[in-house]
Copies of this chain bind each other. A is one copy, B any other.
């Protein structure tokens, strides 16, 4: 049965067990240079090495395995700037059903190509939240495909919670976990994992200043979704979801923002010093930790590196 309310402790541990055979347990990397620069101990959970290149494989796999159990599942569809689309296409192929992905016309070429590589159909739309939703609506009505939302869904949130569950099992004594926040699925899932499994740990969201609807909603307590199309961090341009927000509002300790310049500088550090490929959305947590040194100094900090899907022709380095 699909979840209709905030996932319980049992829901998230079941999600973990359900998806484990289908995803990678990703490694944790550390860097002495970045520890020195931040004045903290940083533990990077490398979801850039996850199947389909991001943590989104967790939520999509969780939902499809649930749907498969209970339904006559004929086809699935979603809208995505890229990573959820790739994840859904990958998961759909692995259980043998067709998938359609609505993508904004400014989505990175590599993400579009990857969705197609997994055998899914790509439909382009304008780069606005409204266009994404209305285009998807047409497809669902025309084809009867089951909509798998990218984040505003309790089973997706339970799926994304498995990343922090793994991180806490691999590195139990963390003072803080920082994740990016776009639609809010990962941050909400992380907050639930910590709430149920590591009550001493703080959970912080990290958001581009150019797409700070989660920070503003969190600060005011009022849900104020807004599409943030201008930030370099293409993975978090989406508007905050309502279901994630209700969890974030109660379970998250704070949300910090970073400018695009700070995000690009953090991305360069990870590429040059850690020698791994991460996308701009990934490094907002690191940017936030470096920027707020006083707040994070001397802490053991888990950072979820959410994905590694970047267009090598359009890198932000100058």
Known: A268-B312, A276-B277. 17 other contacts (CB 8 A): A48-B275, A49-B275, A53-B275, A110-B272, A271-B277, A271-B312, A275-B276, A275-B277, A275-B278, A275-B308, A276-B276, A277-B277, A312-B315, A312-B317, A313-B317, A313-B318, A315-B315
Residue of B nearest to A110 (CB): B272
Q: Which residues of chain B are near A308, meaning CB under 8 Å?
A: 275
Within 8 A of B (CB), among A293-310: 308
Closest CB in chain B relative to A36 CB, distance in Å: 12
CA distance A313 to B312 in the complex (A): 11
Q: Which residues of chain B are near A317, meaning CB under 8 Å?
A: 312-313
Closest CB in chain B relative to A284 CB, distance in Å: 18
Residue of B nearest to A277 (CB): B275
Please report the total number of A residues contacting B with Cβ < 8 Å. Answer: 17
CA distance A292 to B275 in the complex (A): 28
Q: Which residues of chain B are near A110, meaning CB under 8 Å?
A: 272
**Chain A interface (Cβ < 8 Å from any Cβ of B):** 48-49, 53, 110, 268, 271-272, 275-278, 308, 312-313, 315, 317-318
Which residue, A268, A312, A313, has most C-beta atoms of chain B within 10 A? A312
Q: Which residues of chain B are near A49, meaning CB under 8 Å?
A: 275
> Can you name 20 A-B pairs with beta carbons within 8 Å?
A48-B275, A49-B275, A53-B275, A110-B272, A268-B312, A271-B277, A271-B312, A272-B312, A275-B276, A275-B277, A275-B278, A275-B308, A276-B276, A276-B277, A277-B277, A312-B315, A312-B317, A313-B317, A313-B318, A315-B315
Q: Which residues of chain B are near A313, meaning CB under 8 Å?
A: 317-318
Residue of B nearest to A267 (CB): B312
Q: Which residues of chain B are near A275, meaning CB under 8 Å?
A: 48-49, 53, 276-278, 308
Residue of B nearest to A313 (CB): B317
CA distance A317 to B53 in the complex (A): 20
Closest CB in chain B relative to A211 CB, distance in Å: 24
CA distance A53 to B276 in the complex (A): 12
CA distance A151 to B144 in the complex (A): 65
Closest CB in chain B relative to A123 CB, distance in Å: 24
Q: Which residues of chain B are near A268, meaning CB under 8 Å?
A: 312
CA distance A275 to B275 in the complex (A): 9
Closest CB in chain B relative to A112 CB, distance in Å: 13
